[in-house]
Amino acid sequence: MELYEGGCELKLLETLAGHSDRVWSLAWNPATVAAGTPLVFASCSGDKTVRIWENTPSHSASWTCKAVLEDTHTRTVRSCAWSPSGKLLATASFDATTAIWENVGGDYECVSTLEGHENEVKSVSWNASGTLLATCGRDKSVWIWEVQPGNEFECVSVLQGHTQDVKMVQWHPSTDVLFSCSYDNTIKVWAGDDDDWQCVQTLGEPNSGHSSTVWALSFNAGGDKMVTCSDDLTLKIWETDNIQMHSGDGYAPWRHLCTLTGYHDRSIFSVHWSSEDIIASGAADDAIRFFVENRDGLVDGPTYKLLLKKEKAHDMDINSIQWSPGEKRLLASASDDGTIKIWELASLCMENGH
C-alpha cells in the first residue's frame, strides 16, 4: 500500500486510562502476530506498576487492561521489554532492579529480580535470540546478562565507558551487537561474546553526533540503518555496511547519514522505525511526527522528509511511541498525561483508477 504525500491522516482509535501517574514506556509483545490472536502490549509508569493491555481483533477493536503488575517495584518503572518468544517481560525500575515476569495462565508472576545497578535502571533490552539481556542506568554502566535455564540470569559483563547517565540500550535486530545512548551525548556500540565485551565505536560530536542527551535509538528492519533522537532537537540517521556486518567479524562501523533538524521544538524522547520504513517520533511538545525517505531527486544519498505532524496528540509530553508488530499501521503512544493512545496511520486518497 503506497503512502501519498499529504494524503495521510493519523486516526485516534482509543485512549487508554488506568495508570495514576505518567506513562514512561510501552512495548508490544512480538509473539502476537498470527491472525486472530490478540494484540498485546505492556506499559510502565511512575505509579510503580506495569499494565498489560489486550485487544481481540474480532471484537470492535476495544482494548482492555488484562493485568496490573504491582507490589514489586518500589519506585517508578521506567522501561519494559518482551523476550522475542513473548513469554517473558523484563521491567526496569528507578528502584535499581530489573524484574522478570512470566505469564502463567493469565497471571503474571515475578520469576526473577536482577540486582546490581547502583541506582536507577533506565532501560532493558533482549537480543534477537532471547539469550542475552542488557540493562543500563544512571550509574553510567551497561550490564549484560545471560539467560539460563529455570529463569536464572547471570551477569556476564559490566561495561563502563559512558561518562554520564545511560538512557537506553538496544540490541541490533539480527546480530549480538549492543547499542547504548546517554546523557553524555554519545551513542556507544558494544561487541563481544561470553564475558568479553568491549566498546567498539563511539558516535559523538566529532562523528556528526548529537550535541545534547541522546534519549533513544531504533533500527530499520534490515539492521543497516539506525535513527537516534535527542534533547538537541534533532533526529540523526546512521548507516552501516550490511554485508560486512553479517560476515565473520560480526561488526561494521557506523557513519552519519543525515540530520533532521528544524522539525522539533522541544526534546525528542522516543523514536521508532517501522517495518515499512516510516519513522515515528514522540516529543516534549506533545506532538507525533512521521518521517519517510525522500525519493524526489537523490542528491548525495538519501534524505528524509516530514510525512505528517500530529499536534496535541496528547495533553502533555510524549515519552514513548511504538509501532505494533503485524500488518496494520497501528501505533501506541504513552504520555505524561497518564494515558496511552492507540492510533492508525491511514491513507486518505485512493489510487488513481480505483
Q: Pick the stretch among 3-11, 271-279, 297-305, 312-320 that binds other proteins (CB under 8 A).
A: 312-320
Q: Pick the stretch among 26-34, 70-78, 127-135, 154-162 that binds other proteins (CB under 8 A).
A: 70-78
CB of 291 to other proteins, least distance (A): 23
Question: By rule CB under 8 A, what string of x and - marks binding of each residue 266-305 to other proteins?
Answer: xx----------------xx--------------------
Per CB under 8 A, 231 contacts other proteins = yes
Closer residue to other proteins (CB): 152 or 265: 265
Check if the beta carbon of residue 37 is closer than 8 Å to that of residue 54.
Answer: no
| Binding-site size, other proteins (CB under 8 A) | 25
Closer residue to other proteins (CB): 215 or 304: 215
* From candidates 25, 29, 44, 46, binder to other proteins by CB under 8 A: 46
CB of 128 to other proteins, least distance (A): 27
Question: By rule CB under 8 A, what string of x and - marks binding of each residue 120-159 to other proteins?
Answer: x-x---------------x---------------------
Per CB under 8 A, 19 contacts other proteins = no
User: To which residue does cell 485512493 refer?
Assistant: 350
Other Cβ atoms within 10 Å of 338 Cβ, number: 20
CB of 337 to other proteins, least distance (A): 7
Closer residue to other proteins (CB): 20 or 148: 20
Per CB under 8 A, 47 contacts other proteins = no
* From candidates 28, 153, 183, 251, binder to other proteins by CB under 8 A: 183
Dihedral angle of Cα 97, 280, 326, 151, to the nearest 10 degrees: -10
Per CB under 8 A, 314 contacts other proteins = no
Per CB under 8 A, 75 contacts other proteins = yes
How far lies 107's CA from each of 68, 70, 102, in Å? 9, 12, 8
Per CB under 8 A, 97 contacts other proteins = no
The three cell numbers of residue 44 are 510502565
Per CB under 8 A, 264 contacts other proteins = no
Of residues 316-335, which lie at the interface with other proteins (CB under 8 A)?
316-317
Closer residue to other proteins (CB): 171 or 183: 183
* From candidates 255, 315, 328, 349, binder to other proteins by CB under 8 A: 315
Instruction: Tell me, letter by letter, the H, E, C secondary structure of the chain.
Output: CCCCCCCEEEEEEEEECCCCCCEEEEEECCCCCCCCCCEEEEEEECCCCEEEEEECCCCCCCEEEEEEECCCCCCCEEEEEECCCCCEEEEEECCCCEEEEEEECCEEEEEEEECCCCCCEEEEEECCCCCEEEEEECCCCEEEEEEECCCEEEEEEEECCCCCCEEEEEECCCCCCEEEEECCCCEEEEEEECCEEEEEEEECHHHCCCCCCEEEEEECCCCCEEEEEECCCCEEEEEECHHHHHCCCCCCCEEEEEEECCCCCCCEEEEEECCCCCEEEEECCCCEEEEEEECCCCCCCCEEEEEEEECCCCCCCEEEEEECCCCCCEEEEEECCCCEEEEEEEECCCCCCC
Rounded Cα–Cα distance for residues 213 and 200 (Å): 20
Closer residue to other proteins (CB): 245 or 283: 283
CB of 91 to other proteins, least distance (A): 16
Q: Which residues bind other proteins (CB under 8 A)?
A: 22, 46, 75-76, 78, 94, 119-120, 122, 138, 165, 167, 183, 212-213, 231, 266-267, 284-285, 315-317, 336-337
